[in-house]
Amino acid sequence: MCCTDETMEANATANRSSCALVDLTFSDKFLPPVYILVFIVGLLANACGLKFLRKNWKKVGPVNVFVFNLGLADILYLLTLPFLMVYYFKGKQWVFGDAFCKITRFCFNINLYGSIGFLTCISVFRYLSIVHPMRVWGRPTHSVVISLVVWALVCAQSLPDMFFTKTHRNKAGKCYDTTSSAFVEDYLNYSVGWTVSGFCLPFLVTVGCYAHVIVTLCRSGSTDRLLKQRSYKLLLVLLLLFSVCYIPYHVLRNLNLWARVLTRRGRCYGWFNAVYVSQQVSRGLVSLNSALNPLVYLHVSEELRSQLRTLRSRTQSAFSGISLSPSHLSKC
């Protein structure tokens, strides 16, 4: 069965490369620079954010518990990026074993759907605090329980992915982000259900919450102006994350899987290459969520913004002092 699967995969790869001239080498050129950028920016930004939360843990409110878990999900994925860089620099030759390939992909899924889940929790909390302030659970303990539930749901949704084939057995080869062509039809069915439960439903909840928040803020003349500004800015950050990172990835992942299913059935269409290349771009964009998520820190924590303003002021003063030093020396 192993040899049969590998033969089928080789045939499917050959068919795909010749079908509509699909450029399978595009990801080798595009993804490594993106991963390097995300690793450096994301690790620094999340490390600073988590360090701030740790130092101010006694002052942490309910919403900051979700932000803390958001940072943990990012760190978990960022630590796997060096291995993916090696994989692409070696021309898609995975040398770390089948088990670690599955763990690496699992960490990506945990980051992706954990981020969506915790952003949804933040949106619901904002909705309750503005539209129904008397119903807000004001204790961090409640947020901890909700966070544990989110982790459990995300793990349950992502666990079936680990039972699909990710590598060729007994030799170094690809580490699939989905699965081999032998099981692509089953994976497409799983992916569609996963998209609905892990992305579409949370997205609709987030949009519904902020639509109601915006309507409430616009109708209320007594709402604090600062609260309005913070809510609008957080809404823009969430729209950026969903429109740039999450929506293209889920749409193109399923389209690319469908193209692979059609290829396996012997059908070729001109849009296959465009879908494949776009899907690889979306994979790079979705990894950016680990670098963009720290923007949420700035819009849910007033203390962090205050500290950053203080740091910026001190930096400007230091540079002003340096620029003034030559004139003082000339006067001496």
What are the pLDDT digits (tens) for 173-183?
889 999 998 99
CA 158 to chain centroid: 14
The tens digit of pLDDT for each residue in 201-249 reads 999 999 898 888 888 877 776 666 776 777 777 778 888 889 899 999 9
Contacts with 257 (C-beta within 8 Å, 6 or more apart), sequence order: 178, 184, 187, 188, 191
Question: How many residues would you count in the chain?
Answer: 332
Specify the pLDDT at position 222.
Answer: 60
Q: At 171, is the pLDDT very low, low, confident or very high (cuts 50, 70, 90)? A: low
116 has pLDDT over 50: yes
Mean per-residue pLDDT, 187-196: 97
Q: Where are the domains of the chain?
A: 24-273
The tens digit of pLDDT for each residue in 320-331 reads 655 545 544 445
Rg (CA), the chain: 23
Specify the pLDDT at position 1.
Answer: 40
Specify the pLDDT at position 203.
Answer: 94
Q: Which of 20-24, 111-115, 194-198, 244-248 has the lowest mean pLDDT?
A: 20-24
Mean per-residue pLDDT, 69-89: 93
Specify the pLDDT at position 10.
Answer: 54
153 has pLDDT over 80: yes
Residue 30: count of CB within 10 angstroms of its CB = 16
**Which residue shows structure tokens 């915006």?**
214
Q: Which residues pair with 94 in a beta bridge?
A: 173
Report how far residue 49's alpha carbon sits from residue 65's, in angstroms, rounded to the nearest whole number.
12
pLDDT > 70 fraction of the chain, expressed in percent and rounded: 76
Question: CA 155, 156, 158, 163 torsion: positive or negative?
Answer: positive
Provide CATH code, domain 24-273: 1.20.1070.10
The model carries a pTM of 0.84
